[in-house]
Amino acid sequence: MPDRPLKLGTRASPLAMAQAHEARDRLCAAHPGLEVEIVPVTASGDKVLDRPLAEIGGKALWTKELDAWLLAGEIDFAVHSLKDVETIRPLAIAIAAILPREDVRDVLVGVESLSALPPGARIGTSAPRRAAQALHARPDCQVVGIRGNVQTRLAKLQAGEADATLLAMAGLNRLGMAHYGTPLDPEVWLPAPGQGAIAIEARAADESTRALLSAIDHAPSHRAVIAERALLAALGGNCHSPIAVLTSQDGGNLTMKAALLSPDGAERVDATTTFAAADLDGPARLAAQLLAQASPAIAAHFDPPES
């Protein structure tokens, strides 16, 4: 047991703080007597809300401040929503634990269903995956950019900036707001890679902290999200790339259902595969299948690594 409180870094948004408290509570329950101090930071991604994330630096805007603190030793570990963490991470930083994954579904807020939206309705989202799936289902509607934390997006919806918006069920559950909106069928409206998962990162060389964190690692969730991140890596996707995936588990096997879309939603390809959880090449085979089916309008937004 360390002889001082461990410092846990987190973004300062209400959802990020809720996730940090969950991580601390689980860790302290696993190690009675352990003290953990939560250290919040206002991430760059929380400061600039008037432009899409992909235009101002991508997912690194959620992680760079915490990465710097972690590598400098100012914090001992950091908590992130995994879907906001870049696929390629610094070698000096390791994912030490994944907490039990929450509900992976998206929630439609402002209307009961996409089909209930009037022609020309405005759907508020800045996520390429959500925008593409919305336009695929309702090409007559328009997408307007809405960014910010859950409360900010709900306020923008209330102010009339959009007729409907999309949020993660996991975030609403963690904020005690599960009554908002209508959950979408994840078999039809596929979630984001890593959605619903809380990742805890530590310095790769900090074996003592990583050992403490291993006690709260949820192996089934860890297997699923690492496979989803392997799919992302094999596709060569970025913040502009509409990628959606749903992973289910049966014993030692994972089944991944994934879709790639053109940003305007006009074109979509789907593929499904099942592979052993220990088969690290399974996601890459699915990526190759998807890219082989993809039209130029889809493939232009992916840059797979050379094999």
10 Å Cβ neighbour count for 77? 27
Are the C-beta atoms of residues 96 and 210 closer than 8 Å to each other? yes
Given the residues 84, 103, 163, 206, select the one marked as catalytic.
84
Residue 135 CA, chain-centre distance (Å), reads 21
Per DSSP, the residues of 67-131 read HHHHHHTS-SEEEEEGGGS-SS--TTEEEEEEPPP----EEEESSS-GGGSPTT-EEE---HHHH
Sequence-distant (6+) residues with CB within 8 A of 286 are: 231, 234, 256, 258, 271, 272, 273
10 Å Cβ neighbour count for 111? 17
Q: Spell 219-235 as b/e; 16+ CB within 10 A means b.
A: eebbbbbbbbbbbbbbb
Q: Which H or E run includes 35? A: none
Are the C-beta atoms of residues 247 and 256 closer than 8 Å to each other? yes
Q: Bridge partners of 272?
A: 257
Q: Which H or E run includes 184? A: none
Q: Bridge partners of 7?
A: 37
**264 classed as catalytic:** no
Task: Pull the structure tokens for residue 88.
Answer: 């390629």
Q: Which residues are catalytic?
A: 84
